[in-house]
A and B are shown apart, each in its own frame.
Chain A
Amino acid sequence: MAAVTKTVEQVKALEAYEHGFVTDIEQEFAPKGLNADIVRFISAKKGEPDWMLQWRLEAFERWLALDEPDWANVDYPKIDFQDAYYYAAPKEKVGPKSLDEIDPDILETYKKLGIPLREQEVLLGVEGAPRYAVDAVFDSVSVVTTFKKELAAVGVIFCPMSEAIREHPELVRQYLGSVVPTSDNYYACLNSAVFSDGSFVYVPPGVRCPMELSTYFRINAAQSGQFERTLIIADAGSYVSYLEGCTAPMRDENQLHAAVVELVALEDAEIKYSTVQNWFPGDPVTGKGGIYNFVTKRADCRGDRSKVSWTQVETGSAITWKYPSCILRGDGSSGEFYSIAVTNGRQQADTGTKMIHLGSDTKSRIISKGISAGASSNTYRGLVSTNHKAANARNFTQCDSLLIGKTCAAHTVPYIEARNATAKFEHEATTTRLSEDQLFYAMQRGLSKEDAVALLVNGFVREVLQELPMEFAVEAQKLVAISLEGSVG
């Protein structure tokens, strides 16, 4: 009950989008537009070796030949890819050695967002509180990564992608593009050509990563896109939990965020990947502005008995187009997908997952909770498939949709492809509105209608919230309530 009360207070105290401020700092940009020279510019800015530049140029060539996908249940004007900046970075002194050398405005930005960049700050508060390392990505560059030394002591590499390309080229060359090939899809291909930063994680064999790792993505510059690339490799028998968060200023224009996330889990390894996505959703009435979130996320459970768990709380973005997937290649491997997608105002979301069973005795579980309010549209789209050789594949899928209001839409589009006599796939879906009886019951006990809705929604999404690391679960719960603010008339 305390959490619910807190949520309700939070809803009242805050504006609909609290992270919509702009940090006014000096930034440098690549020239506007997109061509091979821009790709070379980005590569040169990052001080990349020639093999990386060639990789990017090849991706760019392929991208030119691809068509923009139009099958998703979303509607937006054609994007002018030449009308954006593909590289934006805060002007910095050459190679800042410590936090003190970073622009204080940026530090202030992260303070306002509640992201601890000073390691001692993380330790403040209750003794024994869980710690988490942060990689802070500001537009196209990573400004700081905390706890690197402590992680290095156990062999964990946690650094910006640009640094990994320079410092650990053998790992990057081996794994980059091995899960999401450059030509996988239109936006993944674009990302391969122009990606600027992102996080790189390598957990050595048998190591349980001693703290939560997280990356915080912030779009600040106007008319720019963010194209980060994340690569996480969990070597045999290791474990890592990773969380990403994202926000952007409120602007009238649409900004593109096209990220690629690749996860590789080797034998007996486990990766837990959580996302709390809170990009600016656009004006709730006119639908003007907001982020186009076109993201490719995929995990390769390459080793036997490996496990990947995706948890996502999607509350922001004008348009979301995202299907975190698991390729269950190793025998006995398993994949999980827990999702809460909330749309309000004019938001459109087409999101779900793919579970591709290739190895024997593989298991997958999908729990998706969609909430639509206002004039928004929310689609679950998921694929569960098995091939002829994947014996004993098991899947359980549950997708529930909740509708709040007369003008919203909720869609469920599952694809099931079973090609084996030992496959067991179960899928169930429901679409309903909030129960009048339950609302009445809650209001009869003195809750206002808005509080009662918050209470019922929290109950509806509880199964997914339980999967998030504890401190983020509280955060996510607040976020869901805030996103639905104003949806009850």
Chain B
Amino acid sequence: MISLSRALETGDLSLLPSRRDEDWRWSDLRGLIRSVPPQSQDASAHGDGPFTAVCDESMLIINGGSARIHLAEGESKTIALRLVSRAVGTQHHAQVLIDLADGAQLTLLESHEGDGSGYISTTDLDIRLGAGSGLERIVLTAEAADVIAVSQAAVRLAPNARYRQTTLAAGAKRERNETQVVHPGQGASVRLDGAYLLGQGHTDLTSVVTHTGEGGTTSQLTKGAVAGQGRGVFQGRIVVERGADQTDAKMGHHALILDDRAEVDAKPELLIFADDVACAHGNTVGQLDETAIFYARQRGIPLSEARAMLTEAFVGEVIDRIEHEGARDVARAWAMEKLRGLA
């Protein structure tokens, strides 16, 4: 079985995903990892995470480790989960179990913070949502530039559960955020959003939503802006299994390419085995509207500012869909800062 974690664990580099593996065709790892680096040492973190000011409590994992978040029936919390890497040329693995009892409500503010260089960070999240529970997960990545970071989340929903996710990615040498959702239908709903803003480096937002029961809804919106030599990858797959009728699934991916050396690769997939469904996807790759830039400049706004404003509005649609007010403000500030970097 092809897997970065398995390859690092067993030392068998032939298990590393390569461009020959369909699901990793734009995020090759075999060409990057020539030997298994040593395990990262324990370290301490300093300062606050990006969400510290807007959460009820904070959890910290430095250079790998494991954690469990459990909410009892009807409980409601906002938890910041900081996954910090302080390493040079080493590797570490984090394992997080999130378990919501029926009716529990969690806002998970997850930040991947990098401080060091050349490390490999892998994260596995196992997320289980009880009946009628709700989880809003905001993921913000700020890894060091020359590292490999792969985070994989497996999400299972019970009927009437709500799962909402927004991933804000800033890239690394290779960065992948993968989400696999098993969607039972029966009143459950999923929102899977993402935004990537790259001036260099690579980021890969991959998701698979499998509808297994009747009457599920999924709404997906990903936006990206890539400048310099950045490379943005979006792979979204919606599967509707036999019998999962009355599924309503929409997927949108829209990206701006701002420089000739930049690249955007996308594969929005629909695999449908039931007939009474309404599934659609849209994908566009292009540039900012020249007329809108002209309009702004005509009103005295300098070109770089006009571009930043329009790009902000473009990405803003994803940020506006974040329900947690504090997290939305953090996300907006993050986007502004990144956009200034791109300009």
Contact = CB atoms under 8 A, between A and B. Distances in A.
Contact of A416 (B274, B276, B280, B285): B285
Interface residues of A, number: 34
Interface string B266-297: 11111111111111111111110000000000
A6 interface: no
A111 interface: no
Given A423-B285, A429-B281, A411 B270 contact: yes
A71 interface: yes
Interface string A402-413: 011111111111
Given A71-B22, A421-B257, A423-B257, A431 B272 contact: yes
B74 to A, nearest CB: 38
Residue of B22, B268, B282 with most partner-chain A CB within 10 A: B268
A417 B263 contact: yes
Contact of A430 (B257, B268, B279): B279
A149 interface: no
Contact of B267 (A408, A411, A414, A421): A414
B262 to A, nearest CB: 7
Given A417-B265, A431-B277, A425 B272 contact: no
B263 A418 contact: yes
A354 B244 CA distance: 32
Interface in B139-191: none
Nearest to A401: B272
A431 B258 contact: no
Q: What band does the interface of chain B fall in when counting residues whose beta carbon is under 8 Å from A?
A: 20 to 34
B287 A409 contact: no
A432 B278 contact: yes
B242 interface: yes
A405 B275 contact: yes
Nearest to A391: B260
Contact of B260 (A388, A401, A403, A430): A388
Contacts of A411: 269-272
A144 to B, nearest CB: 45
Nearest to A433: B275
A432 B272 CA distance: 10
A405 to B, nearest CB: 6
B277 A418 contact: no
A420 B273 CA distance: 36
A293 to B, nearest CB: 22
A357 to B, nearest CB: 12
Contact of B287 (A403, A406, A424): A424
A11 B267 CA distance: 38
B272 A420 contact: no
A228 B255 CA distance: 42
Nearest to B275: A403
Interface string B113-147: 00000000000000000000000000000000000
Nearest to A373: B275
B269 A412 contact: yes
B237 to A, nearest CB: 9
A108 interface: no
Contacts of A428: 280-283
A2 to B, nearest CB: 31
Contact of A431 (B262, B268, B270): B270
B273 A409 contact: yes
A352 to B, nearest CB: 12
A388 B265 contact: no
B280 A430 contact: yes
A422 interface: yes
A421 B262 contact: yes
A427 B275 contact: no
A413 to B, nearest CB: 5
B261 interface: yes
Given A430-B280, A431-B280, A408 B275 contact: yes
Interface in B226-259: 242, 255, 257-259
B285 A414 contact: no
A426 interface: yes
B264 interface: yes
Contacts of B272: 401, 403, 409-411, 431
B276 A414 contact: no
B286 A425 contact: yes
Closest 9 CB pairs of A and B: A403-B275, A427-B283, A418-B285, A416-B266, A433-B275, A424-B286, A431-B279, A425-B285, A412-B270
Interface of B: 22, 242, 255, 257-287
20 contacts: A388-B260, A405-B275, A406-B242, A411-B271, A411-B272, A412-B269, A413-B267, A415-B265, A415-B267, A417-B263, A418-B255, A418-B285, A421-B257, A423-B257, A424-B284, A425-B283, A425-B286, A428-B280, A432-B279, A433-B276
